Structure 1
Amino acid sequence: MSQEEEYVRCDRCFEHFPAEELEECPSSWHEVKHGITIGHQFCSDCCVEVFQNEGCQSDVGNCDRATKLMAEHLKNYAEKKGFSSYEGKEHVYLDAFKAFCLADFSVSPEEIFEDEASLLPDELEFFEGKETFMVKQVDKKFSFSKVLVSEVLEAFEDLGCYKDRFYFLNKRHVLVVTSDGMWGALAPRTEEAFDVERSRFIEETRYGHKFFELGKEDGFVLVDTKMMEFDWSKLTDQKFVELCCDIVKSLPQVAKVRITEGTSDLGQDIEAIEVISSLVGKIKQKLTIQCKHFLARKVASSDIAQLPNSYSQLKFDVFWLMTDNYLLPSCHRMLDAWDKDDDLPFKVVRWDRKKIEDYLRNQAEIYTRYFG
């Protein structure tokens, strides 16, 4: 047999290779006759270039080489982001806070979470709030961090995967997001987030109704049954800390809360332990809460700049800033930078006046105690 008969030409680089080293591409072909097509055959190097430059994510599952390349790219991405293996399983990568995972299609969400009771979108109701992605199933409702949903979708985009679709694992209460080359899964938050979004929606609807002067002729009638007023000048610094403490105590996932003595200079006025849902079960994390009762000005970055230096003493998992004013852009930028800094092993939560007021509208007892 001649050398030409033993070797086959790659349809991209036009070099000749042993036939077994070429892969027929399911997305690239030429028509030899009307209605008759022949798939192009590529060598491994050309497949890598096509995958990186043109994208073969839609071929994952149909092309062995595309499936392998997708797995390699996801593994490299996970290592770069500092993700860990999910319970020692290959192809599934867990973020540092165990709140979401990413995986390729060599494994399925149902297999990983041992939950075959999946609900498709037409069996659920979805609502995207300001900070929360919500799922409702008949009389049950679940909240998921919109930030984490965005991180999953950004990972899809970074890896060239699109066509996002949501569904729900009913037994584990896990939200699954799939694309054409990989999938992600998120653990739920508590109903507290659902209540905050509900309150915010009501408030924004009230203001929108007034601003646009909507009425019956618009098919929109709003009955305002409760107006709460917040006079923050009534509170002293200590009273504001006590209010923040009561708010934290009211959260269903919080197990222990106390106002601390002697640590305010370190950036901690309150410490708490919360038990949260993760993809590996319930986990405890320590909250360090700093309270800023600033009536005359907004919170600046200089007001919190020393916080990372206190980490070695306080050892917290979450830094939570609460203020009855608002944050300057520089403060937001600093908190955003901390949240994205892999060298800082804590998450950041911020509640400004608007967020606190939204929450208190669902907490009449706490509201009355401080503003009634």
Structure 2
Amino acid sequence: MEEEIDNEQIRVFLDSITEQFGFEELSETKNTSNEFESIEIKTTTKGVFKGRNGHLGIICSFVENKNLKPSFQRIFSNQHSIDNFYEGEKYLLCLANSKIYSFNIDFYNEINSVIDEIDYEYPLTKREYKIGIDNENNFHILLITTEIAHFMVAGMLDDNQEEEERVILSNKLESSQPFFEFKAPIHFDWNKLLGDKDRQFERICELLLQKESNITSIIPIGKTRASDRGRDFEVIEKVGGLNSDKQLKWLVQCKFSENSISPSSISGWTDRIIEHKYDGFWLMTNNDITPNLFDQLKDVSSNEDYQIKTRFWQRSDFHIKLNVHSELFTNNDIFEN
């Protein structure tokens, strides 16, 4: 879907994508009658979708504010940037406008799944997160804005969610004390990579691979950004068995990206695995992978016809590994201080 699409195409496209998540285009039905018959009149608000009984919503970018309900008009005119996110066990907590706003974490994850599904079909270049507030009705929503639509999650009306999450987190910390001392993690900002971000990400991947105890060989192959694929490595991994050890030969692909990684971002990898007789494909990316790509990687690894192993490190994995080996990446020439 590289070509531009008009408003009606966007509406139909979103309708087809969101239907599988239980969204419906917003409509209102009125019954009138005369002396001869009863008449049902259905009015559809084109480009506005709701799901989860109104807890989730989507408004196409072409929908004008004047065509929205007054509460939505107030929300769009009263937006605040989010200073901090906390994705908890039960709630998403957002700090904005010097206040804490809370949302059901399952609803938040669901709306992100919708966006990822859309991103697979129509690559999105931006996601802007804000809090929209309707002061008149004491109501707030999480607004995720992309170039084609605004995605919304309704906020929680009561105000004890942060205390619940504090108790859950405190219990986790207490139970972890026999194993390790708490230390605040370092936030590595991908925007602060020095120089060529693609090359620096490849360096990070190679340094982290060297820290993997079972890796016996790392050989760079190809060139950076070759065919927009990213740098590849050939990696040999020693795997222990009950009677003997064996070696697995992996094709490792490093993919630095500003957006989520979809199947189209790494097309043709199965052909390269088969052609060069690799045992598996190992994707490394600083971003997230879309649900479609996750399913594809899992499906291939369980397909007896291919017999290809798959592995991936994505954003959350790199956050952990960069902190585990933080001595490699602080006060050096990879990230800005």
Provide the TM-score with structure 1 as the length reference.
0.39
Larger RCO (CA within 8 A; separation ≥ 6): 2
Instruction: Please say which structure displays the higher CA radius of gyration.
Output: 1
